[in-house]
A and B are shown apart, each in its own frame.
Chain A
Amino acid sequence: MLQTLQVERRVDPHLSIDRYDPEAELLLLHMGPQHPATHGVFRMDLYLDGEIVVKAVPYVGYLHRSVEKLCEKLTYSQVTPIVDKNDYVSPMTNEQAINMAFEKLLGIEVPRRARWMRLVFAELQRIASHLLWLGTFAMDLGGALGGGSTVFIHSFREREMIMDLFEEISGARFHYNTHTIGGNRHDIPAGWAGRVKHALDVIGARIGEYEAMSLHNRIFVQRTRGVGVIDSSLALELGLTGPMLRACGVDHDLRRDAPFHAYDEVPVNVAVAHGGDCLARAEVRFAELRESVRLVRATIDSIPEGSINGGKPIKLPNSIKIPAGQTYVGIETPRGELGTYVIADGSANPYRLKIRPPSLHALSALPYMLPGGTVSDALAILGSVDPIMGEADR
C-alpha cells in the first residue's frame, strides 16, 4: 500500500549553525508573527546565506487559547462551540470530531439521517476550506497586489456560497454549533438541496478556471515543482496526514480506510499524487475539490428520512454525564486526521480532552522542507502546508 519515494538528501533540521560553515555570516530573519504571509500568527526563524535558507526554526503558540484546559471546565454540550474556533477554516469538522468522541463514550447510535447530513456538511466544508487554501496559496505566490489576490478573491466568492448554505442550516456563517451529542441540532430547511446543487453547479464549473489560473499556469508550476519535497517515510515518521501525506504518494484517507459518518455507504475516490512537493499538494487538493463536489452531488438527494438526533434532548447543560472511560476518535478533515482523545470520569465535564490537530504535525515538517530553498520558496512551502494556527496552537 505504501509507495516509497526517493529524495536526494534529507536535511537534518537540528543542524547546528556553527557546523554549517563557520566562515559564512548568516542572516537571521525573524519571519512572523506579524508577517503578511504567515497565515495568522506563525513565526519562523530563518537563517539565511544570501537568500538561501540554511536552517529554519518554526515557533508555534502565538494563538494559544488554552482550549483543552478550558474544555475541562465546561459541560459536554458546552464544548462544541468552543472547539468550533480551533480550525476556524473548517468548523464543521471540529464539532463533528468532538461530538463523535462523546457519542462513542456514551454509546449513542447516531441516526442514519444525521450521519448523512454530517457527511454532506463535511464535504461542503472541505470545498470551502480548500477554496480558502487555494486563495491564500496563490496570494503567497503572487502577492496581495497582483495575480495572487485575483485568485484569492475569486475563490472567496465561491466560498461565500457555501457559507450562505451553512447560514441557512444553523443561522451562523462561521461558527455553526450545529452538531450536538447524538446527532444534529438543526434540520435541513425546505429547498436546501436544490440550492446546494445550484452552488455546486457554479463551483464545479469554476474549478476548471482555478486550475487554469494555477495548475496550468507556467509560473505557478515553476514556483512549486520540486519545492519543499518531503518523502513518504519521513512524512509517516512525522505523523503527517491529509493532503500533505497523500501528496507523498501514500494512499491513506480515513474516509475510506476507517469510515465514519456515512462514508461506508458512499465510496470515496482518494486522490494521491507523487512528488511530495508543493505542486503535488496542490494537485491533491484540486482533486479533492472535484471529489467533494461529486460526493455532495451523489448524496444530497439521497439523505434518508428520519430523526436527526439519537440522544435524549438536552435540557440543562450539565444534564449529560458520561460514564468513566476513555476513547479516541479520528476523522479526516480538509487538513488531515483530526484526533480527539477524551477521558471521562463520570462527571458532567471531561476529565481530560486532547485534540490532535493535523496542522501542528504538518508544521513540524517545515524544518525538513525549508533548508536549501530561497525565502520565496519558504513562503510557497508554508502556503502549501495550509496551516491553521488556531488549530495548531489551540
Chain B
Amino acid sequence: MNVVLTALVTSLAILVGVLTVTAWGIWFERKFSARLQSRLGPTMVGPVGLAQPLADLMKLLQKEDLVPEAADRAVFNLAPQIAALCALGAAAVVPFSAHIVGAKIDLGVLYLLAIGAVTVLPVFMAGWASNNKFALLGGMRALAQSLSYEVPLVLSAMVPVILAGSMDVSKIVEYQAAGSWIAIGPVWLGLPAFVLFLLAMLAESNRIPFDIPEAESELVAGITTEYSGMKFALFYLGEYVHTLVASAVAAALFLGGWDGPFAPGLHWMVLKTLALFTFVYWVRWSLLRFRSDQLMKMCWYWLVPISVALLLGAGAWVVL
C-alpha cells in the first residue's frame, strides 16, 4: 500500500511539476524570443505577463471544438491525446534527483526511446485523419523525418548506456557522478554523441531548423491545420513537454543529471534542463529551416555514419 501511495504521490508531483514548468517555459520562451527580436513580449496579464499561460489556457478552453466534416472523427480526436500522453509518459523515468524518480525501471533508456518513437504516431494520425492536404503533407514529412532521426537518436543514446554499462537512467547518472560527465569524458566520444543527441532531439521534437512537419509558411500549420481549441492546445502542450523532457533526458544522459557541487541534486537537474531548453529555443528563434530533402541527406549522410562510428568507439573504449 505504502509503495503504491509513494509512487502515486511522486508521479503526481512530477506531472504537476512538468506541466507547471512547461506552462511557464512557454512564458519564458515568449519573453526570451521577444527580447531577441527587440520586442517586449507579454506584458498585460499579471506582472511582466506572468499570468499569460493561464490566460492562454482560458482562451483555448472557450474556443469552439471544430471537427471537419470529412475528417476521420475517432482518429482525429484521439491524436492530440496520444501526443500529450506520450510526451508526459516519457517524464516517468527521468531522475530529477537521486530520489525523485517516477518509475525506477532497469530499461529506462529503452523505455524513453520507445516512447519517443511512438510520438510520431499521433502526428501521422493527425495528418491523415484531418483529411486536409496541408496536414497530409505535414504528416508525411513528419513520418519520414522522425523515422530517419530515430536512428542517430538511438545510436547516440547508446553511447552513455555502453559507457555506464546500464540501461537504467539513474545508474547512468550515478556512473557520471562517480566519474566524469559523459559529455566531457572521454571528450572525443561523449561530446560528439551529445551534439548528435541534441540535433536528433531537435528533429524529433520538430523544432527549427527541423520543424518541417509544421512549417507554417509552407503548410499553413502542417498537421495542426484543422485543430482548434483544446485539441490544438494538447498538441502544443505535447510539443513543449516533449522538448522539456528531451532536455531533461539529455541532461541526465550526458551532463551528469543531478550531479553538481554546493546545491541539492534537484537544483542542478532543473538548471541543466532549463539551460538545454533555452538552447533549443535560442536555436529556434535564430535559424531558418531546412528543406525536407536536405534534412534527410544530413541525417543519412552525416549523422547516421557518425553515430555508428561513435557506438563502435564506445564499445572499443569499454573493452580496452
- Give residues in A with beta carbon < 8 Å to B: 27, 29, 35-37, 51, 138-150, 153-154, 157, 217, 219-220, 222-223, 374-379
Contact = CB atoms under 8 A, between A and B. Distances in A.
Interface in B290-316: 290-294
B208 A147 contact: yes
A36 B215 CA distance: 11
Interface residues of B, number: 31
Given A153-B37, A157-B38, A375-B218, A143 B211 contact: yes
Contacts of B219: 375
B7 interface: no
A148 B217 contact: yes
B286 interface: yes
Most B C-beta atoms less than 10 A away, residue of A27, A35, A142, A153: A142
Nearest to A30: B133
B216 interface: yes
Contact of B217 (A140, A222, A374): A140
Contacts of B285: 146-147, 149-150
Contacts, number: 97
Contacts of A147: 208-209, 284-289
Nearest to A380: B291
B99 interface: no
A153 B218 contact: no
B286 A150 contact: yes
A175 to B, nearest CB: 26
Contact of B133 (A29, A217, A374, A379): A29
Contacts of A140: 217
A51 B291 CA distance: 11
B217 A379 contact: yes
A142 B218 contact: no
B195 interface: no
Interface in B35-93: 36-39
Most A C-beta atoms less than 10 A away, residue of B134, B140, B289: B289
Contacts of A378: 218
B147 interface: no
Contact of B289 (A29, A37, A142): A142
A150 B36 contact: yes
B38 A376 contact: no
Nearest to A140: B217
9 contacts: A27-B133, A145-B216, A146-B285, A147-B208, A154-B38, A222-B294, A223-B294, A374-B293, A375-B137
Nearest to A224: B288
